[in-house]
Amino acid sequence: MMRRIPSHLLWTATVSFAALLPVVHPNSYHLDVLTGAGLYALLAMGLNIVVGFTGLLHLGYAAFFAIGAYTYALLNLHLKCPFWIGLAPAAAFAGIAGVLFGIPAIRVRGDYLAIVTLGFGEIVRIAFTNLEGWTGGPNGLLGIAHPTIWIPGAGAYDFGVSSMPYYYLVLAVTAIVAVVCHRMGCSRVGRAWAAIREDELAAACSGINTFQLKLLAQGCGAAIGGIAGAIFAAKQGTITPDSFDFILSVMVLAMVVLGGLGSVRGVITGALVLGVLPEVLRDVEQYRMLLFGAVMIIMMRIRPQGLFGAIQIRRELLATTPAAQASHS
């Protein structure tokens, strides 16, 4: 029987391969596609906390992506706030928005929660479209500053429009967020989220404060979306409300479902697959969405739990056995 590769070695090998890829294959277009897929991975990990860990169906997640992007853009344009400082307020404002929205929203469940979150996402997008004095309206905001780092001996280095620095930036942030999400999923809070997802009434009867933990999931997931939004705004240099529509929320949700609810590596894989697949099918552009939908349908028929969903479920079941509890005590 083959020995199972330890997860930390697998993560290290994957990140090392990704870090060496620009050296082996320095194609700007391919790096730009992978950077976009990395931003999708960030969004998928944030939504996975809400949907995968806690079981709250959210159809307006693009709103937090927009809040993070506009927060950094406004701070940069009006206060000359650099990217590295604006990253924290973008995450904070998105996280606060997630908590404030969650206070009334998570009191409803199921289909009603999906409708409320869908409305929230559209309200945020329409608000950014109509607040022309602040957000530029449909034309958006222009002239957003790119990130700049200080290199000893070489001075300030502006990322500009080059693909490689953004690729490494997204890779580093994605790796950090993946580690944090994995640790949260394995913690007591993560197990409480799993209990809420499986049976909220039973979780409440066992002493879990379901309301506070659902708010925490909303805030954490929204903050990750805000970080992705700030990086997106800094990379593009311009943002418009059309970039944060309902289709984006559905796309990110599809990535989470494809990878496997609750699985960090699963949602990253799902984001990479669905982020790169449209570019792979660009040569058959007229049939691209048809093939894209066919792949999704076949995948859901063959493996409805997602690519890594079964592994995640088995891991959660093993974590609740007496032997596993004794080892953690």
pLDDT tens-place string over residues 266-314: 999 999 988 888 787 777 767 767 777 777 788 777 777 777 764 555 5
pLDDT tens-place string over residues 33-83? 999 999 999 999 999 999 999 999 899 999 999 999 999 999 999 999 999
pLDDT at 171: 95
Write down the pTM of the prediction. 0.89
DSSP assignment letter at 52: I
- 254 CA to centre of own chain: 12
pLDDT tens-place string over residues 190-242? 999 999 998 899 999 999 999 999 999 999 999 999 999 999 999 999 999 99
Backbone torsions φ then ψ of 145, nearest 5 degrees: -70, 140
pLDDT at 178: 94
What is d(CA 298, CA 268) in angstroms, rounded to the nearest whole number? 20
Res. 5: pLDDT tops 70: no
pLDDT tens-place string over residues 117-156? 999 999 999 999 999 889 999 999 999 999 999 888 778 8
